[in-house]
Amino acid sequence: MKLQSMNCPNCGGDLKKEGNVLACENCGSTFAIDYDDADVEYEKLSTEDERNRQQYEHEKEMLETQYRLQEEARIKQLKYEKSELRKKKVSNTIRSLISIVIVFAVFGGIGYFTYRYMDKNGLLDEAKKNMMPTTTETTADPYDITKEDILADSEFLENAKASILSSYHSDRDGDTASTYDGGWLEYTISEGDPEIYDTYYLVSNKDYGDKNRLYYLIKFSFINDETGEVTEVYDALYLRDLKVNANGKITCDFSVCGDRGSGATDWTFDAATDSDQLYRSAILGQDEFTYEKIEIPNLEAEPETEEAEGESSEEEVEEDETEEA
Question: What is the distance between the alpha carbons of residues 113 and 111, in angstroms, rounded to a whole number?
Answer: 6
258, burial (CB in 10 Å: exposed 0-12, middle 13-18, buried 19+): middle
What's the pLDDT score for residue 7?
79
What is the residue type of 255? S
Nearest alpha carbon to residue 250 among 136, 162, 151: 151
C-alpha pair distances (Å), 114 with each of 33, 110, 119, 125: 119, 6, 8, 14
What pLDDT was estimated at residue 190? 92
Share of the chain above pLDDT 90, in %: 35
Instruction: Give me the pLDDT at residue 134, please.
Output: 52
Taking a C-beta distance cutoff of 8 angstroms, is the pair 164, 218 a contact? yes
**pLDDT at residue 306, as a whole number:** 45
Dihedral sign from CA coordinates of 104, 203, 283, 199: negative
State the average pLDDT over residues 264-269: 79
List Cα–Cα distances, 33 to 4, 14, 26, 64, in angstroms.
9, 15, 19, 45
Q: Report which residue type is found at 61.
A: E
Pick from 146-150, 190-194, 305-309, 310-314: least confident: 305-309
Q: Where are the beta strands (DSSP E) in the chain?
A: 15-18, 21-24, 30-32, 176-180, 184-189, 195-204, 212-224, 230-240, 243-244, 250-251, 257-258, 289-293
- DSSP H helix total and E strand total for the chain: 6, 12
Residue 31 has a pLDDT of 74
Q: Are 149 and 244 in contact (CB under 8 A)?
A: yes
Span 114-123, pLDDT tens digits? 877 777 776 6
The pLDDT confidence band at residue 299, using thresholds 50, 70 and 90, is low
